[in-house]
């Protein structure tokens, strides 16, 4: 289980996260939504160790990981796909994915078996193997970024705005891949501006505002919450069936 307890963190002395409590159950997909500046991406940077906490802690199971450097957190199976493109544009697709196994580079048989597994899960990796990553479309790059993370067989995958800049077809492919990861038992923590898409994919929802968690609950509860509807969804409930909102507020503020 991944847990953030009273986490305070920020940049240049100003705290972006102001006491965040958040829990991701094993095998769940937790989607963090909220307006710009709410601190959603900062949550992911704190979990991956790219940003140090100034107060509070991040734990995985019984272990406190917030004091570890990023590579140690990576070794524990926490990988991140950031919001901006993270590939090495002049390297081939194969080299990019191979770099995802940098930490297991000395175990050649493990590296080869992971590569084969990743190619089976994301066929694009084999299909465009020798193409430079910088020449892929936005959707293809996103798939390769996720594929690269899979080289470490992650326990927790952090996805920052996976839908950003993607056309509907690419979006569907990325969503399908996330669902397959979920089926394989990977815990996914994703941040999404596209509330309908994010909560539609997720099992759990978290609403952040001003560096704090405002609401948590199942994805359905958060999606049905009237405040969410008015804040992000133009006043109506976000349902895939297109029904109107049930005003009952089942989502609850954090403990």
**Smallest gap, in angstroms, from Cβ of residue 252 to another protein?**
34
With CB under 8 A as the contact rule, the residue among 37, 61, 123, 134 that binds another protein is 134
**Smallest gap, in angstroms, from Cβ of residue 160 to another protein?**
11
Q: Locate tokens 């802690």: which residue?
A: 57
Strand partners, 55: 8
CA distance 181 to 100: 17
CA distance 13 to 125: 41
With CB under 8 A as the contact rule, the residue among 105, 180, 250, 252 that binds another protein is 105
**Token pair for 18:** 């102001």
CA distance 20 to 39: 10
The piece of 21-29, 127-135, 189-197, 213-221 that touches another protein (CB under 8 A) is: 127-135
**Smallest gap, in angstroms, from Cβ of residue 249 to another protein?**
38
| H-helix or E-strand spanning residue 170 | helix 168-183
Residues 20-49 that bind another protein (CB under 8 A): 48
With CB under 8 A as the contact rule, the residue among 132, 155, 196, 212 that binds another protein is 132
Residue 109 lies near another protein (rule: CB under 8 A): no
With CB under 8 A as the contact rule, the residue among 61, 138, 235, 253 that binds another protein is 138
Specify the residue, 190 or 222, whose C-beta has the smaller distance to another protein: 190
Asked if 157 and 100 count as a contact pair (C-beta separation under 8 A), the reply is: no
Residue 153 lies near another protein (rule: CB under 8 A): no
Residue 154 lies near another protein (rule: CB under 8 A): no
Q: DSSP secondary structure string, 29-70?
A: EEEEE--TTSSHHHHHHHHHTSS--SEEEEEETTEE-TTS-H
> 186: alpha, beta or left, given left = phi > 0 and alpha = psi -120 to 50?
beta
List of residues contacting another protein (CB under 8 A): 48, 50, 70-71, 74-75, 79-80, 82, 84-91, 95, 98-100, 102-103, 105, 132, 134-135, 138, 141, 148
């Amino acid at each position: 289980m991944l847990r953030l307890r009273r986490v305070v963190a920020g940049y240049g002395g100003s705290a972006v996260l102001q006491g965040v409590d958040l829990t991701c159950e094993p095998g769940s997909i937790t989607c963090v939504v909220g307006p710009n500046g709410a601190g959603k991406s900062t949550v992911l940077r704190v979990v991956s160790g790219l940003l140090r906490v100034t107060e509070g802690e991040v734990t995985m199971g019984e272990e406190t990981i917030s004091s570890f450097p990023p590579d140690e957190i990576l070794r524990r199976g926490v990988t991140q796909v950031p919001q901006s493109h993270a590939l090495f544009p002049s390297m081939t697709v194969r080299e990019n994915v191979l770099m995802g196994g940098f930490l297991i580079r000395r175990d050649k048989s493990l590296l080869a078996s992971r590569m084969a597994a990743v190619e089976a899960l994301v066929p694009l990796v084999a299909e465009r193997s020798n193409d430079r990553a910088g020449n892929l479309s936005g959707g293809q790059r996103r798939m390769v970024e996720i594929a690269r993370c899979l080289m470490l067989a992650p326990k927790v995958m952090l996805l920052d705005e996976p839908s950003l800049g993607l056309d509907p077809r690419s979006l569907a492919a990325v969503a399908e891949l996330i669902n397959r990861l979920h089926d394989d038992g990977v815990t996914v923590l994703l941040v999404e501006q596209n509330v309908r898409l994010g909560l539609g994919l997720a099992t759990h929802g978290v609403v952040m505002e001003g560096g704090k968690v405002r609401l948590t609950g199942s994805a359905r509860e958060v999606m049905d919450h009237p405040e969410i509807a008015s804040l992000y969804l133009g006043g109506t409930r976000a349902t895939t069936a297109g029904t109107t909102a049930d005003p009952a507020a089942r989502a609850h503020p954090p403990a």
